[in-house]
């Protein structure tokens, strides 16, 4: 414990010896001077060969990044979101980059009927998924007192209900086919404690 505390104190002294402005001005983490960022996947090539991955919100941001990595490791990916033009562009970009097929299916996860149709299409074009990532999300960066009932409902419908609809529908199909899959639902650090300006998201997560 003493060694741990001493190490912590030493680290703080090293960090703040640069002055507090480092917290605002330096975009590179201090540790990157000693440990260069890893630029490749930490898994062996073809780790997901023969696997099917379904990613909601797969057209942009985190969803696009996860799809790119899974595809580069051999997975056949199916991405879904509301904007078909964005999905198609992302699917083509990732396919050309990795050499693996990426399917795009339009889906609003807030609509259970649309989710049901999407899952049917998913199974039709790629088979039952081995990996399901509930990544679709939304947020209004707003003081809580300014939120309208519709704003609250929109975020909750996407983040909470959408995750439930996708998980339940795929789960039913997997049970019927006597297959299993790994499910990942994206959360956030403020889900446990709440935070200003993101209350609907924190509650739904």
Structural contact between residues 56 and 135, judged by C-beta atoms closer than 8 angstroms: yes
Q: Which residues are catalytic?
A: 190
**In angstroms, how far is CA 22 from the centroid of its own chain?**
30
Count of Cβ atoms closer than 10 Å to residue 32 Cβ: 10
Which value, to the nearest 10 degrees, does the dihedral of the CA atoms of residues 81, 139, 41, 71 take? 0
Structural contact between residues 115 and 165, judged by C-beta atoms closer than 8 angstroms: yes
How far is the C-alpha of 205 from the C-alpha of 200, rounded, in Å? 9
For 61, residues 6+ apart whose C-beta sits below 8 A from its C-beta are none
């Amino acid at each position: 414990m003493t060694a741990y505390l001493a190490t912590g104190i030493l680290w703080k002294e090293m960090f703040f010896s640069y002055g507090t402005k480092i917290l605002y001005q330096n975009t590179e983490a201090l540790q990157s001077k000693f440990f260069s960022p890893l630029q490749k996947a930490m898994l062996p090539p073809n780790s997901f060969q023969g696997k099917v991955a379904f990613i909601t919100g797969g057209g942009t941001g985190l969803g696009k990044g996860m799809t790119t990595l899974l595809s580069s490791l051999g997975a056949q990916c199916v991405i879904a979101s509301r904007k078909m033009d964005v999905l198609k562009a992302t699917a083509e970009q990732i396919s050309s980059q990795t050499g693996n097929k990426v399917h795009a299916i339009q889906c609003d996860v807030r609509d259970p009927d649309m989710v049901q149709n999407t899952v049917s299409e998913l199974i039709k074009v790629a088979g039952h998924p081995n990996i399901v990532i509930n990544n679709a999300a939304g947020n209004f960066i707003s003081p809580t007192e300014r939120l309208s009932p519709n704003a609250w409902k929109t975020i909750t419908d996407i983040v909470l209900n959408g995750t439930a609809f996708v998980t339940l529908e795929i789960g039913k199909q997997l049970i019927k086919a006597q297959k299993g899959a790994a499910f990942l639902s994206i959360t956030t650090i403020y889900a446990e404690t709440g935070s200003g300006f993101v209350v609907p998201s924190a509650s739904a997560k």
